[in-house]
Amino acid sequence: MLKHYTIPVFIPELACPFQCVFCNQRKISGQQHIPGKKEIEQTITGHLKSFKRADRVAEVGFFGGSFTGIPIEQQEHYLGIVQPFIDRGEIKGIRLSTRPDYINEKILDVLKKYRVSTIELGAQSMDEEVLKKSFRGHTAKQTEQAAKLILENGFKMGLQMMVGLPGDTLEKSISTAQRIIELGAANTRIYPAVVIKGTALHKWYEDGKYTPLSMEEAIQWTAQILPLFEEAEVKVLRVGLHPSEGLLSGHELVAGPFHQSFKELALTEIWNQQLQPLTENNEAKKLTVFISPKELNYAIGYEAKNREMLLKKFDSVSFVAQPSIIGRSFETLLS
């Protein structure tokens, strides 16, 4: 199977006239300037040299802002930088992120010309109240219309979502995930909302008008949403914010469920729920759990959380990788 690589190029807040309550794109992405042509070329070349797999597919991703909101000539400038790499077969295509209200037929014609393959829309929520309270500046209906146009024009589509925005509930987030699936997304990203310095959420948090999800709540919500995408075969590209320097140091993060291993925490919780019924056994002293090799670490859990949970019931607990087992199925040996 070919290894897939995406070379990220960040163009922070270049176009977006909206200031969503959660957004300070420069601080979230860790990028403080807009890269020029030479820098982008060097970024692409550097990544290509660093890839370990020869049997690979690579693409360039323009992230960090609403790409299709910038003037067409600027879009063509950035997209044009990548074209020689595509011509030489070094890059397969281009993906970019944008807003649902920055998609129309004219824009899509330009993206086709420059061999864009995937368009990611920041849907964030499909609940109108959440969108309004978050100052998104677009409606769920606009997301639906943009998604339809993207697919009709032959692009692959990603739809990103956030959990824990103002007015959000677990039920609304689950409904958003289900709608993303129904709209035909090939991939998604799940971000828990956090409070970043300099945002409206920062002020609301200080004024007591907004409370972010606790870490436990964010993990629980995500653990319920992830299986929905998996069952529908929607690829989850990322779970949790990228650990940029500002977030890791705490200089930009004010509050909220940020963890550099957030995905592992969510997968640990999914496995915790799977393994919990084993503690109802009242006779066995030793437990061996046979697990798919791909799921082994998550079954054991972040900081061995699930092993520790089982050790409260059993004298001995062993996890064994079993290649014949797939997915989150597992087998046990009790003695």
Shared-domain flag, residues 247 and 299: no
Shared-domain flag, residues 176 and 136: yes
Shared-domain flag, residues 243 and 296: no
Q: Which pLDDT value is given to residue 30?
A: 45
Shared-domain flag, residues 99 and 162: yes
Query: Which CATH number goes with the domain that contains 198?
Result: 3.20.20.70
CA geometry: angle 36, 37, 38, nearest 5 deg: 95
Residue 302 predicted with pLDDT over 70: yes
Question: For the chain, how big is the Rg over CA atoms in Å?
Answer: 22
How confident is the model over 54-59, as a mean pLDDT?
88
Are 179 and 125 within 8 A, CB to CB?
no
Of 229, 259, 289, which marks where a domain is finished? Answer: 259
Shared-domain flag, residues 60 and 17: yes
CA geometry: angle 219, 223, 131, nearest 5 deg: 75
Q: What pairs with residue 97 in β-bridges?
A: 120
Smallest CA-to-CA distance from 13 within 131, 140, 122 is with 122
HEC-encoded secondary structure of the chain: CCEEEEEEEECCCCCCCCCCCCCCHHHHHCCCCCCCHHHHHHHHHHHHHHCCCCCEEEEEEEECCCHHHCCHHHHHHHHHHHHHHHHCCCCCEEEEEECHHHCCHHHHHHHHHCCEEEEEEEEECCCHHHHHHCCCCCCHHHHHHHHHHHHHCCCEEEEEEEECCCCCCHHHHHHHHHHHHHCCCCEEEEEECCEECCCHHHHHHHCCCCCCCCHHHHHHHHHHHHHHHHHCCCEEEEECCCCCHHHHHCCCEEECCCCCCHHHHHHHHHHHHHHHHHHHCCCCCEEEEEECHHHHHHHHCHHHHHHHHHHCCCCEEEEEECCCCCCCCEEEEEC
pLDDT digits (tens, 9 = 90+) for 89-139: 999 999 999 999 999 999 999 999 999 999 999 999 999 999 999 988 899
Shared-domain flag, residues 221 and 323: no
How confident is the model over 48-59, as a mean pLDDT?
88
Task: Specify whether the backbone of 288 is left (phi greater than 0), alpha (psi in -120 to 50) or beta.
Answer: beta
Q: How many domains does the chain have?
A: 2
Q: Which pLDDT value is given to residue 20?
A: 67
Shared-domain flag, residues 238 and 304: no
What is the bridge-based pairing of β-strands 93-98 and 116-124? parallel
pLDDT digits (tens, 9 = 90+) for 144-193: 999 999 999 999 999 999 999 999 999 999 999 999 999 999 999 999 99
User: What is d(CA 167, CA 132) in angstroms, rounded to the nearest whole number?
Assistant: 9
Structural domain boundaries, residue 284: 268-334
| Mean pLDDT computed over every residue of the chain | 91
User: What is d(CA 6, CA 115) in angstroms, rounded to the nearest whole number?
Assistant: 15
pLDDT digits (tens, 9 = 90+) for 235-290: 999 999 877 656 666 678 899 999 999 999 999 999 999 999 999 977 889 999 99
Shared-domain flag, residues 232 and 328: no
